[in-house]
Amino acid sequence: MSVLPELEWTTAEDRFVDYCLWEYLPAGPFEGKLRSVNLLRHSFGVEKASPLLSEACDALRADLGPFRTVWGVKHAGGRTSWELYFYDYARLQRTRSIGRVLRILEPYVSCGLTFPEDRPYFMFSVELDSAGLRAGRPIEEIDVYVGNVGSSVSSGICYGLTGDGLLLRNFYFFFDARREREAALAKLACSAHLGLGAFDVRDIVWPELADCRVLVVANKRDRDGIYFSGIDVDQLLFFLRRLSYPSETIDFIAENRSALTHMRYDVGYDYAMERDRIRILKSSYYGFF
């Protein structure tokens, strides 16, 4: 395993969270192993990203505290972007608000959007890309999430906030991948984007990832999404290889595999049916810092 000076190593005080900021117990001894943030920073290097990305993440961690921010590396149409997610389940009593995060980010990227703090959102996210940061483009959309009260499973609703106001974007439904598998598959099949006789469920719920902890089904405007939460590092590698992520990313994880086995990982992709075949439109993998 190659050891580089810029890598961050876990301590006995580290905590571990999934992409919903729900804490989990590591899969084994973790002290002295790699932190999740290393995968994020490595992606910056692979993509030759603007230094502002790393500086913004450092500022967020310094202000919000460690292990409080979720990141996602997203690939779509040959383009890479990074999304940062901020959770505060206290809702109206929140301390990690949209306004606070935008103030932290202001030295690196501006944003003229505001959102009333009397709305019971529990999460929001911003997407950044290197070209936009280099060009000084502002954040033009914030995704805001509220609960979906009355659903029989854990569920959330996403709205896109732009200068024109709010636009309903996505519904998310969380299923225990073992106990609620049949319900998850039924939800997946109940879609305006799928022809029920034209696809094999294994084309969407890949058997190699089906033993994840939580299976998330998303309904979106022009597509659907599937997320596998709580997979291990070998399943992460399978996901990255199947979707042809950069070889540098795959090699880094494979070379450092023994220092990454303590964590659980979250991955997902958007898909639609085209000519009776499932086409993947966007994919992402997640971590925290």
Q: How far apart are CA 234 and CA 95, in angstroms?
A: 36
The answer to whether residue 142 sits within a structural domain is yes
124, exposed or middle or buried, with CB in 10 Å at 0-12, 13-18, 19+?
buried
pLDDT digits (tens, 9 = 90+) for 133-167: 999 999 999 999 999 998 778 999 999 999 999 99
Averaged confidence pLDDT in the chain: 95
pLDDT digits (tens, 9 = 90+) for 2-33: 444 489 999 999 999 999 999 999 999 999 99
pLDDT digits (tens, 9 = 90+) for 197-220: 778 899 999 999 999 999 999 999
The answer to whether residue 105 sits within a structural domain is yes
The answer to whether residue 275 sits within a structural domain is yes
Half-sphere exposure of 261 (CA within 13 A, CB side): 6
Chain position carrying tokens 């993440």: 57
Copy the structure tokens of residue 253. Answer: 């994880």
As a 3-state breakdown, the chain gives helix, strand, coil percent values, each rounded to 5, of 25, 30, 40
* pLDDT for residue 3: 40
Short-list 230, 239, 233, CA closest to 207 = 239
Domain with 244 in it:
37-288
Q: How far apart are CA 285 and CA 267, in angstroms?
A: 4
The answer to whether residue 201 sits within a structural domain is yes
The answer to whether residue 131 sits within a structural domain is yes
pTM for this structure?
A: 0.95
Determine the average pLDDT of the residues in 121-132. Answer: 97
The answer to whether residue 185 sits within a structural domain is yes
The answer to whether residue 166 sits within a structural domain is yes
pLDDT digits (tens, 9 = 90+) for 239-287: 999 999 999 999 999 999 999 999 999 999 999 998 889 999 999 999 9
* pLDDT for residue 143: 98
The answer to whether residue 1 sits within a structural domain is no
* pLDDT for residue 4: 45
* pLDDT for residue 157: 98
What's the number of domains the chain is made of? 1
The torsion defined by the Cα of 176, 178, 180 and 182, in degrees rounded to 10, comes to 140
